[in-house]
Amino acid sequence: MADRHKRLDSNVPGNFYVDATCINCDTCRQLAPLSFEEVGDYSAVSRQPDSESRIHQAYQALLACPVGSIGTEQGDKARLQTAKASFPLRLEDEVSYCGFNSEKSFGANSFFIEHSSGNWLIDSPRYIKQLVEVFERRGGIAHIFLTHKDDVADAEKYAAHFGAERIIHQADRDAAPTAERVIGGEDTVRVESDFQIIPVPGHTAGCMALLYRERFLFTGDHLWWDPHTKSLEAPTRLVWRKWTLIESIRKLLDYPFEWVLAGHGDRIHLPQSEMRASLEDLLRRRSPATVGT
């Protein structure tokens, strides 16, 4: 629960606020970008929500915050319940953003795919009753895809409850030593007809991306969209091997996709041609001497 006595001075006056427990994970800025901004080392309310849709987004951000650092001076239980019921938040078709980000993964996003052969959870949200009940109503979870060791969070609890198969790369297996399926090497692995597991080492040795229906690319911390520069970005720090990371980015040029759904950083939907151009631009910025060779 947020503490009004710890309310940051960087918040504008009004009902919603961020307190000093904020870990600056970006969750609120993704969900309610018109109300929250990064100010110094924290997020803060830069504009109080002034419409029903913006108030709804602010309550979604309050619920998704992994450390409970968003609060209200005067709460609205009805709006809070409406926001709670909106998760998982459907993005397109059968793909949803889970919400309820976990402090264990520094507030990383997680996603849910409803599929006729078994549902997928990509990385893990907090293990809470709200999500468990929704997943149960939608057919449970068959597979839990772990993009890398940092975003495992409560995957073990979800796997135990649903009898799900956890999938992780051998190089990051120490984060989920009892995982049911371990991927080795750097070759792409196809699962049924709709899913491709693409090892993309760089941020960690065992980073992987999941490509669904050649449209949705779940990237963990390997790749994300920066709404300020309007460009794809990749890690510049906390990198296992810089040049391996660049080659892993280059590897994605071999795959068509329209969505980048990241663990940290914004998600983006672009036509395939524009997505490829954005990926090529990222490579030019990171390796100007080698791109295109």
Q: Residues 85, 62, 136, 263: is their CA dihedral positive or negative?
A: positive
Q: What's the rounded Cα separation, in Å, for the pair 245 and 86?
A: 36
Task: Record the tokens describing residue 159, joined without a space.
Answer: 């796997």
What are the chain's domains? 4-84 (3.30.70.20), 87-286 (3.60.15.10)
| 238 DSSP 8-state letter | S
Q: What's the rounded Cα separation, in Å, for the pair 122 and 42?
A: 27
Under 8 Å between Cβ of 129 and 236: no
Q: What's the rounded Cα separation, in Å, for the pair 159 and 103?
A: 19
Q: Give the model's pLDDT for residue 71.
A: 98
Q: Give the model's pLDDT for residue 3.
A: 97
Q: What is the pTM of this model?
A: 0.95
Q: What's the rounded Cα separation, in Å, for the pair 242 and 231?
A: 19
Low-confidence stretches of the chain (pLDDT beneath 70): 288-293
Task: Record the tokens describing residue 207, joined without a space.
Answer: 């980073």
The neighbouring-strand residues paired with 195 are: 191, 212
Under 8 Å between Cβ of 207 and 219: no
Centre a 10 Å sphere on the Cβ of residue 127 and count the other Cβ atoms it contains: 18
The neighbouring-strand residues paired with 260 are: 217, 268
